[in-house]
A and B are shown apart, each in its own frame.
Chain A
């Protein structure tokens, strides 16, 4: 009978602990507790997605910020890359999200559209000491929506053409240059595609990825796009004659007897274009600068160049960008602004780019890099050609991308011709568009 009582008491105690804790929200509790020690200290939190290599500078920046701002206590809480979306979403839902967080262009428009992030314009105007013209203009423009600024730059990766020098040398060919058109690329890729004795391709000339960013640059250089200017219409754009003709050429690169590119699925199973490139199985690819980190640590000998022009001399570029934004529900927005300013300011840019892991977002520092880093020069030059992907233009953006990807999948699986698939996709987009 005694043991019964013990059992009962244990469970009762556990419930008591629970209900005792639930009586007061800890957030307020914590604040009042620490408030007695240093009355004025404002608690801020900020988060990034990250891996081991990239968290280092942020830790240092946090320490320095806390030193120079005695009234603010900042806590840095990085989240592993593949958990970032879930974690941020959950904490936003619960109203528990950090004051400052990093957003990438994937979620950017949606966050702005739903009012999750605070516009920075009023803070920037009031702050005469901080001049945003120090940032690369194209980069700032990426973050403008309806004339307002919602983030300050942190990370950005312009897309450019990467080529494997060893494979070019072996074929006795000249490296790509800034005068190349997409036709030049295609012709070179054909020469660089090699088969083994069994007729199996052992080396590909180019990777015609299904990732939409390189495809966008390709379409832009061909004078077309999957949507109109403000992302409200697909008919006549996604399925225009120009788009269809261009996409037929593009798809032919990874299909048929003359293919010069792995199919998207093959590339994926070979570890992606980066891995194929590093193991000398791929001669050229269009991708973001993040790949440099891996390339530099492998044995591959590579170079970079501008993404080719179209036949009419047009060129399109794109920047995968991420920046610091302020949580619209933050209780300390002014302090959060100070933090954002610091995290994207000159010192931060220099510190992060010190080891060449990322490019600095500020004009002067970029110029410095351009002078000394041969491989980074074309990448930086590509920024001048940057345009916004449809996802950064409209809240319908993901609809365009989704339908376009679906069409590509059908085409690559021989379920539909390029023309039919794009026609259907355009119709689907326009029927679902909300604005």
Chain B
């Protein structure tokens, strides 16, 4: 008992820096934005003009056609891109985890795209995706496919952004790589001696051993997917015909184009709730599939 309470105190002490940071830097702005979501505020006129309006913002949001459009775009993006990026990242990371000469070089290459600032990446892709002059459609025409007008076609713009995102998954790859590095080689060897093939080993050794990493990437992928912004902002600005009007882009336009910060804050809390629900679902199911070598704690 004595041991436990000591350990409890120590736990609090170790997370103290974060907790102080939460109180000092995070909670304040969060509460502020929560208050704003029930207010009207033309931000350019300064704090003095904040005006309490009750539920008006939320009522207006649920009447706003663009809200539903942006919600749809964001959901499609998140539901497709999150699993897609996770699977590809994991597969690439496993290949990069091979012990072969020159692997350092490959790792560097696959990491490179994440180093380029998002704006520069976006500009590059605008050119790649150009229907007539871009290299993507030129490559497709070599195999006899006539590529679509990607970013200019409402049917393809969202898919184009999803495909483009694959190019930038270097960060996720690295996290998987660091997770894979923690899997002891002996486990594979043991499984191999038991006669397990590549697929078996993947599902019975790799997946359970890196399940904490998968759990991490999945949650971060959900948070990031629902908050997708920069590329759409630079490349399509929501178009054509609002086919890439992501939720955060819609929110940004409200906050910084028409200066309706109250409305934007209300939007942000709705998004907050959505992300929270999805995260909780993942956490709830995690006890069934996430395996921690070091403890039997539940999340």
Q: Do A and B come from one complex?
A: yes
Q: Contact residues of A with B, CB < 8 Å? A: 4, 7-8, 11, 14-15, 18, 85-86, 89, 92-95, 110-111, 114-116, 200, 263, 265-266, 268-270, 329, 398, 406, 409-410, 413, 415
- Whether A114 contacts B256 by the Cβ 8 Å rule is no
Judge whether B126 is part of the interface by a CB distance below 8 angstroms. yes
Bound together, the chains give a CA A14 to CA B241 distance in angstroms of 50
A269-B149 contact in complex given A18-B24, A93-B261, A114-B42, C-beta closer than 8 Å: no
* Chain B residues with a Cβ closer than 8 Å to the other chain, count: 32
Q: Are the CB atoms of B241 and A409 closer together than 8 Å?
A: yes
Closest CB in chain B relative to A408 CB, distance in Å: 11
State in angstroms the CA–CA spacing of A114 and B152 once bound together. Answer: 36
Q: Are A269 and B154 in contact (CB under 8 A)?
A: no
Within 8 A of A (CB), among B137-168: 149, 151-154
CB distance from A324 to the nearest CB of B (A): 17
Chain B interface residues (CB < 8 Å from chain A): 13, 16-17, 20, 24, 42-48, 126-127, 129-134, 149, 151-154, 239-241, 256, 258-259, 261
Please name all residues of chain B whose beta carbon is closer than 8 Å to the beta carbon of A7 when the two chains form the complex. 13
Question: Whole-angstrom distance between the alpha carbons of A86 and B257 in the complex?
Answer: 9
Contact between B133 and A269 (Cβ–Cβ < 8 Å)? Answer: yes
Chain B residues, Cβ within 8 Å of A270: 130, 133
Are B43 and A413 within 8 A (Cβ)?
no
Name B45's contact: one of A85, A86, A114 (CB within 8 Å): A114
User: Complex Cα distance A309/B33, Å?
Assistant: 52
Q: Is the interface of A mostly helix, strand, loop or mixed?
A: helix
Residue of A nearest to B252 (CB): A86
Q: Which of B20, B154, B256 is within 8 Å of A413, CB to CB?
A: B154
Contact partner of A8 (CB less than 8 A), chosen from B13, B134, B149, is B13
Whether the pair A11, B152 counts as a contact (CB closer than 8 A) is: no
The answer to whether A95 and B47 touch (CB under 8 A), given A269-B134, A409-B239, A413-B240, is yes
A85, A93, A111: which contacts B46 (Cβ < 8 A)? Answer: A93
Do residues A110 and B241 form an inter-chain contact, with CB atoms below 8 A? Answer: no
Q: Closest CB of chain A to B123's CB: distance in Å? A: 10
The reply to whether B256 and A85 form a contact with Cβ atoms under 8 Å apart is yes
Closest to A266 in B: B132
Can you list 22 A-B contacts with CB-CB less than 8 angstroms, sorted by A residue number?
A: A11-B17, A11-B20, A15-B24, A18-B24, A89-B43, A89-B44, A89-B259, A93-B47, A110-B259, A114-B42, A114-B44, A114-B259, A265-B149, A266-B130, A266-B132, A269-B130, A270-B130, A398-B258, A409-B240, A409-B241, A413-B152, A413-B240
